[in-house]
Amino acid sequence: MQPIRIAHIDLTAFFVSVERLLHPEWVGKPIMVAGKADHRGVVTCASYEVRKFGVHAGMATAIAQRKCPIAIRVDSHHDAYEEHSRKVRTYLKQYAPVFEPASIDEFYIDWTGCEKLFGGSIVSFAEKIQKNILEQFGLPSAMGIASNKVTAKIACDNAKPYGIKEIAPGAEAAFLEPLDVKVLPGVGEVMLKQLHQFNIRTCGQLAQLTPEFVEENLGMWGLHIQGYAQGNGSHELSVAREQKQISTEETFARDTRDKKFLHQTLHEMTLKLSEILRHSEIKARCIHLKLRYADWVDQTRQMEISPTHDPAVIYKKALQLLAKADTRGLPIRLIGIGLSRFGEEEAALDLFDEDNTKREHMLKAVDGINSKFDKTIIQIGTAE
Ligand SMILES: [Mg+2]
């Protein structure tokens, strides 16, 4: 079997990079994209020159300006960021059999089985892609390559600001071992405090604990995160499995009826899917839920919804579907969420208008969506 190779690409200090394309005089200067201090603004992106002073995204502008008085504050320009993100997406998709736009500046690509296609080395191919993104679009990036999405993203963080880091198949746990547990997704403040109580500070320390200890003291969510620390994680990209659907599913380390854990998993999934909708500029009108019980019997439910890409709405509907589907009282092995019946953001509003010309527009828009959809969401060249 071919080793799984997932690449995570992150555009470095993306908002700052775009601002520098718009204002070349800011290249090399300490820039931060941030709201106004007197409007209780926060920093959304700081250049590395500003980060040196301890400024980071999410910090109040007032504090950031105290830490780095020389920083040039810039208002954000989301239309420009979207436009540049779209260009990079279009470019990357040419070299990606399976592609997931995880956020405005982060992308996953499944390059499994592409070594030969790329002349033997994924890393040297990745270097070319990175160089092209810089030369064609003026955007620096970092890349991580590993056997699953979580490890690839952490490898990418490790390669920042401008590097490429590949974790060889089987070397995931060794790579993660010395790293702070904070790098693992799902380790928030509460989990971090709990881990520190047990004197667990590195991924390696978490990886070595017995599953019994982890489950008893940190719950199902803790077990889940321990899996990440051990170098495990999903390699399934959220792309269309059948025409016009995006979905994601997760098989648990252990069958469970832990409601809190199931809800948390659904929450994470709906956040991710809604983000893909927003970056594809579409809304969904149908939500599907799949449960697989411990005896491998699947239960599915689906529901029509008003066109939305709002994670809160989708999560609420997902919980309703879970309540409907979960009738057997058996431990659950797998949970999955899918979204379908897409419409373009504006077209979706028109659905409620009876006016004929508007309907014409709507139909045209739907055609547009279909062609756009084929290109943006449907996986190219892989049979499922
Ligand atoms: Mg970034």
32 contacts 47 by C-beta, under 8 angstroms:
yes
What's the residue count for the chain? 384
| pLDDT confidence of residue 310 | 87
How many A from CA of 74 to the centre of ligand 1?
17
Which residues are close to ligand 1, an ion, with C-beta < 5 A?
10-11, 14, 105
* Domain 6-12+79-168 sits in CATH 3.90.1310.10: no
Average pLDDT, 10 consecutive residues per value, the chain (384 residues): 91 97 96 91 95 95 96 94 93 81 92 77 91 96 97 97 96 98 92 96 98 94 95 80 66 91 92 78 88 92 91 94 93 92 54 39 38 31 23
* Domain 14-77 sits in CATH 3.40.1170.60: yes
| pLDDT confidence of residue 249 | 84
* Angle, helix 311-325 to helix 259-280, in steps of 10 degrees: 140
Q: How far apart are alpha carbons 17 and 87 in whole angstroms?
A: 14
How many A from CA of 10 to the centre of ligand 1?
5
| CATH code of domain 245-376 | 3.30.1490.100
How many A from CA of 279 to the centre of ligand 1?
15
| pLDDT confidence of residue 362 | 38
How many A from CA of 189 to the centre of ligand 1?
22
Q: How far apart are alpha carbons 343 and 364 in whole angstroms?
A: 11
- Give Cα 81 distance to the centre of its chain: 17
How many A from CA of 160 to the centre of ligand 1?
9
Q: How far apart are alpha carbons 244 and 282 in whole angstroms?
A: 11
| CATH code of domain 174-229 | 1.10.150.20
290 contacts 335 by C-beta, under 8 angstroms:
yes
Q: How far apart are alpha carbons 49 and 38 in whole angstroms?
A: 23
For 47, the token pair is: 């250049």
Tokens 């020159």 sit on residue: 49
Q: How far apart are alpha carbons 23 and 179 in whole angstroms?
A: 37
| pLDDT confidence of residue 239 | 64
Tokens 């590949």 sit on residue: 166
| pLDDT confidence of residue 73 | 97
Instruction: Give me the catalytic one of 106, 215, 236, 249.
Output: 106
How many A from CA of 103 to the centre of ligand 1?
9
Q: How far apart are alpha carbons 338 and 245 in whole angstroms?
A: 7
Tokens 């394309």 sit on residue: 21
Rg, the chain, Cα only = 22
- Residue 98's beta-bridge partner residues? 110
Which amino acid, residue 233?
G
Q: Is 106 a catalytic residue?
A: yes
* Domain range annotation of the chain: 6-12+79-168, 14-77, 174-229, 245-376
How many A from CA of 147 to the centre of ligand 1?
21
Dihedral sign computed on CA atoms, order 170, 198, 331, 336: negative
How many A from CA of 384 to the centre of ligand 1?
31
Contacts of 277 (CB under 8 A, 6+ apart): 246, 283, 284, 309, 339, 342
| pLDDT confidence of residue 6 | 95
What is the DSSP pairing of strand 245-256 with strand 31-34? unpaired
Nearest to 5 by CA among 114, 147, 101: 147
